[in-house]
Amino acid sequence: MKKILLAIIVIATLFACNNTPKTSVSEEDPNIALFKENSKVIQKCFDSFVKNDLNAWAENFSDTAKFFSPALGDTTVTMAGSRKNLEAFHAMSKEFNTTKILYLPTVDTLTFKPDGGVRTLVEWNNILLNGDKINMKYYAFFKFNSDHKVVLADEFFDVGTYVKLANEAATKAK
């Protein structure tokens, strides 16, 4: 009798656990929605850079944004300094294009949950002044304020090789 009673309790418990109402969550994580919105801002930045419209590019950043350059020893952290770097890239190149862009959410380092920021993996195809074409891999992450303006930009790519190749191409183009 004890075995039968125990079996009934076990079956009832399993039945109760398996028949809990299932709720479907149709709401998206608000930070994923924020990430998607902020990804559009970064796309605007890339589009503006490609068009060499640095005024439109700058509109996507807060007035106090911090920039961390990929160039070794570059201590630029301001909008003005970063803009000067971008102007220099355009001066040594005919054209910039993106061929592949992957957007990924940044995550809070304590919770490992999305925080609304954006990471990008980009393949750039550039044409130098002499017509040479080069492909460049680029990684960056961006943090935003509540107005969807970038407050922090940290970029990684082989800027040294790019500048070397661009300078050599400029010399050949003369």
**Nearest C-alpha neighbor of 128 from the set 96, 82, 80:** 96
Q: What values do phi and psi take at 5, rounded to 5?
A: -65, -45
* C-alpha span between 144 and 60 (Å, rounded): 10
Contact 156, 70 (CB under 8 A): yes
CATH topology of domain 28-173: Nuclear Transport Factor 2; Chain: A, (3.10.450)
**pLDDT per residue of the chain (174 residues) written in tens, 0 to 9:** 666 655 556 565 555 555 544 444 446 789 999 999 999 999 999 999 999 999 999 999 999 999 999 988 888 799 999 999 999 999 999 999 999 999 999 999 999 999 999 999 999 999 999 999 999 999 999 999 999 999 999 999 999 999 999 989 888 877
pLDDT for position 24: 43
Q: pTM for the complete prediction?
A: 0.81
* C-alpha span between 123 and 125 (Å, rounded): 7
* C-alpha span between 73 and 71 (Å, rounded): 6
